[in-house]
Amino acid sequence: MTRHKLPAAFFQRPDPLQIARELLGKHLYTNIDGVVTAGRVVETEAYRHEGDQSLTMHLQRKRQQAQGLYLPGGHAYIYTVYNRYALFNITTHDAEHPDAVLIRAIEPTLGIDEMLRRRGMVEAKRALTAGPGVLSQALGITPALTGRLVTGETVWFEDHGETLAPADIVASARVGLEYAGTEAAGLPWRFRLKDSKWTSPAK
């Protein structure tokens, strides 16, 4: 199997929608305190500074924290919701454009026993990593990693040579953005692998 780590250039392209789609089928790795865990990406969401009221509101609401989006593509941007769930995003494009891709779900592939321990679970079922907050917990991702390159030795992505056809990808509205208005909530910028049992249960 041919495999290689995704370089920063992968994330520094100008279209976060393209990057969000192309991350499907890639493998996300973490090495936290010497423990490696990984999973195949099965669900993402794109956020773009143009035409996306949800991102505009995020930049306003989390003004200080959101400065983490103003980094060249390929940096981790992690923030918490409900004072509990850490959401793992990757900056895209360049430091002048606060675009990002959110990783929403993975299919666990490596270090599953450690993921179960972190999640307090005994069985590897969908709830282990199907959702942005739980996948971060399973992989040991916390806001402390904000600003860290996702091309290093702590967090990185690998291409294992999987090729997806357009028919393999389902595009739909992103999750939980009703507060940003009908237009933003309806943008079909959530991407999932068709028929994957590991995608998040959110409609």
How does pLDDT run across 47-78, given as a tens digit for each residue? 998 887 787 777 767 666 678 899 999 999 99
Residue with token string 């989006």: 69
**Interatomic CA distance for residues 30 and 37, integer angstroms:** 5
pLDDT tens-digit series, residues 3-50: 899 999 999 999 999 999 999 999 999 999 999 999 999 999 999 988
Beta strands in 114-173, from DSSP E residues, in sequence order: 155-159, 169-172
Selection from 70, 89, 91 nearest residue 79 by Cα: 89
Distance CA 192, CA 203 (A): 12
Query: Any idea what the Cα angle at residue 121 is, between residues 138 and 175, rounded to 5°?
Result: 55
Whether residue 201 contacts residue 129, with contact meaning beta carbons closer than 8 Å, is answered with no
Domains along the chain with CATH numbers = 4-193 (3.10.300.10)
- Residue keyed to tokens 């305190």: 33
Q: Are 151 and 5 in contact (CB under 8 A)?
A: yes
Instruction: Give 11's contacts (C-beta < 8 A, 6+ positions apart).
Output: 19, 73, 74, 90, 91, 92, 101, 150
Band the pLDDT of 185: cuts 50, 70, 90.
confident
Tokens of 23: 């991350």
Contact (Cβ atoms closer than 8 angstroms) between residue 156 and residue 139:
no
Q: What is the pTM of this model?
A: 0.94
pLDDT digits (tens, 9 = 90+) for 101-160: 999 999 999 999 999 999 999 999 999 999 999 999 999 999 999 999 999 999 999 999
Q: Are 93 and 75 in contact (CB under 8 A)?
A: no
Percent of the chain, pLDDT > 90?
A: 74
Residue of 24, 18, 53, 2 lying closest to 196 (CA atoms)? 24
